[in-house]
Structure 1
Amino acid sequence: MSFGRDIQTLTNVIKILRREVDEHFPVQMVHVILAVAQRPGITTAELVKETDLSQPAVSRLLTSLGKEHYTRKKAGYNIVDTVDDPEDSRRKISFLTKKGRDLMGQLIGVLHGTTQVDFESPVARAHVASIVKARSGV
């Protein structure tokens, strides 16, 4: 059995991440992005369990995946948005930004042998709508 095609597909996924995000993109960030993509609105505590990373590590990764890098020396990747949970402001929830959904569409497209798929799930739209509503106070 030859795994050449599978290996090439994985190589193409890595190339997209290096090209579209960062040449030195850490695997822990990939794990966090995949967890957020799989469960839009996932809490930070759930991410800790899902990724087997420490809470401080997940928080740093979420910050860097957001608008501002955790070192504050450069901009973040703007792939994941983390906000207060509208149902409990003590919790933070995360979901993919437009850029993150486009990136996920590219990655899934590679797996399906195409260039891009639409990664706009109804669950993601519902979470975005609830957060917009909570932010506007409506």
Structure 2
Amino acid sequence: MAEEAAPRLWLRIGAPIFALVLGSLLGAVVISWNFATQQDAAFVAKSRQLVDAALRGRLQALSSTAMDYAFWNDAHANIVAGWNPEWIEANYYSSAADGILIFTEDGAQRYAWFSDGAPPQVRAAAATLIRGAGSRAALR
């Protein structure tokens, strides 16, 4: 009788406990797998976003550099290679500077612009610069 009770005891108590433990482990594996898959997808999305932002930033920097070179090439053509005051009037303006001075190679003043709101100190400093530039043999 004791020998018959052992298999019944296993079926009544052991098997459900074993099934519960096995089900819990299987559930933990499924939940962990799902969590890992979500983490992987989030990592891929964030990596793509970071690479995209880096590429956009680099493209913007290259674009700015190209525009700077284009502007300075135009400036050289219209100021150094040939004098074009209309180009200067159309392209040299500033909301940050109070004045612009352009000198020839021998130190003579070629162009001067001051904003209407330039403080008197700016004009005084410009006069000092003009006198100093005129006294130099070569302004470079």
Which protein is richer in strand relative to its size?
A: 1
TM-score (ref. length: structure 1)? 0.25
Which protein is richer in helix relative to its size?
A: 2
TM-score (ref. length: structure 2)? 0.25
Larger-Rg structure: 2
